[in-house]
Amino acid sequence: MLEDKAPQKTDIASLGEFGLISHLTQYFTITQNSTVKGVGDDCAVLDAKGLKTLVTTDLLVEGIHFNLSYMPLKHLGYKAVMVNLSDVYAMNAEASQITVSIALSNRFPLEAVEELYSGIQLACEKYNVDLVGGDTTSSTKGLLISVTAIGHAEDDKITYRNTAKENDLLVVTGDLGAAYLGFQVLEREKQVFEVDPNNQPDLDEYTYLIERQLKPEARKDIVKILHDLEVVPTSMIDISDGLSSEAIHICQQSKVGCNIYEDKLPLDPQVISTCEEFDLNSTTVALNGGEDYELLFTIAQSDFDKIKGNPHLTVIGHMTDEASGMNLITRGSNQSVPLTAQGWNALLDQNTDS
């Protein structure tokens, strides 16, 4: 029988800062034509060849944005890249480079940082982006990871949040609410485990939800689909904080209103069954769940025929004039409920009545 070997724990200090950087980056390759110089000098050098350059950064802090008791380091590395690529795709641009900065407490051995970088590398390979730089330092407590993503696009394809028009259709990719429920399932299992460490969780019926929480995928494919369909959205945003919050961003910045139809919200069957089990309202979860990293965009009505029937895209509503406000049109009763009033508590109350 194979015995479990104690995991090796190499002290990072034994490599030194430069040893660590070259160790971590040695297996990353450069594939983008726009990368002139990657890791190794004072700056990376990029050549966008006439395209506009887009830049976005996210900082993730242990205990605030992630919890390592159920987030494996490899997944964390992957997700840290995804949340940034998602922002680039939300501008209808192609992501081409990232930089990664980390601060580590002495609790992290080399093997832990290797795990983190294996997730980053997987993301780079799968999404065809180059790691071109970063910074490495220590922290007194915990892990911090900051990723910057760089993308490129033709000027007239870049899609902002403030350019939606009245009567445009509101479209969402994929399905909603699964990442939030994945988080709820993991939290519950963690508590069960803390009470009885011999209690092995059976997570089979939640695989999709947990994958959406631990291994989100940014919608690079949508940028290509839109390009192939010759559709340039009139506005776009990625769904990191929940559909409701992102729709409100588009409306407020574009000075329009919207109607979102409850019966159009795309839900995975695992979302529906798990909402029943947890006694949650699936509409609340879809509207406010967050971390889905789907894209929410508006298109001119004249583009509807081009997107009709595409399995990745669901028309969930349309834009109205600003004075009409932002509303959810409820299933069955066709009531118009202001989106701003759909707080978590309001819907939980509604849920206990049903």
Please report whether residue 40 would count as binding ligand ADP according to CB under 6 A.
Answer: yes
Please report whether residue 42 would count as binding ligand ADP according to CB under 6 A.
Answer: yes
Please name which of 278, 56, 269 lies closest in space to residue 178, comparing C-alpha atoms.
269
Q: Tell me how far, at minimum, the Cβ of 85 lies from ligand ADP, in Å.
A: 16
Q: What's the rounded Cα separation, in Å, for the pair 93 and 87?
A: 9
Q: Encoding tokens for residue 227?
A: 């390009």
Among the listed ranges 20-28, 87-95, 181-189, 262-270, the one in contact with ligand ADP (CB under 6 A) is: 20-28
Q: Encoding tokens for residue 197?
A: 């460490």
What residues line the site for Mg ion (CB under 5 A)?
A: 135
Q: Tell me how far, at minimum, the Cβ of 309 lies from ligand ADP, in Å.
A: 43
Work out which of 77, 119, 133, 317 binds ligand ADP, going by CB under 6 A: 133
Please name which of 230, 50, 255, 27 lies closest in space to residue 119, comparing C-alpha atoms.
27
Please report whether residue 149 would count as binding ligand ADP according to CB under 6 A.
Answer: no
Please report whether residue 136 would count as binding ligand ADP according to CB under 6 A.
Answer: yes
Work out which of 134, 151, 182, 289 binds ligand ADP, going by CB under 6 A: 134
Q: What's the rounded Cα separation, in Å, for the pair 257 and 265?
A: 18
40 binds, among Mg ion, ligand ADP, none (CB under 5 to 8 A by kind): ligand ADP
| Residues 6 or more apart in contact with residue 171 via CB below 8 angstroms | 233, 296, 297, 298, 299, 307, 313, 314, 315, 316
Chain length of the chain: 354
Work out which of 12, 25, 83, 254 binds ligand ADP, going by CB under 6 A: 25
21 binds, among ligand ADP, Mg ion, none (CB under 5 to 8 A by kind): ligand ADP
Q: What's the rounded Cα separation, in Å, for the pair 94 and 87?
A: 10
Q: What's the rounded Cα separation, in Å, for the pair 322 and 319?
A: 9
Binding residues, by number, are 42, 56-58, 65, 87, 117, 134-135, 161, 238, 240-241, 291, 344
Binding residues for substrate, by number, are 65, 291, 344
Would you tell me which residues interact with ligand ADP (CB under 6 A)?
A: 21, 24-25, 39-42, 100-102, 131, 133-136
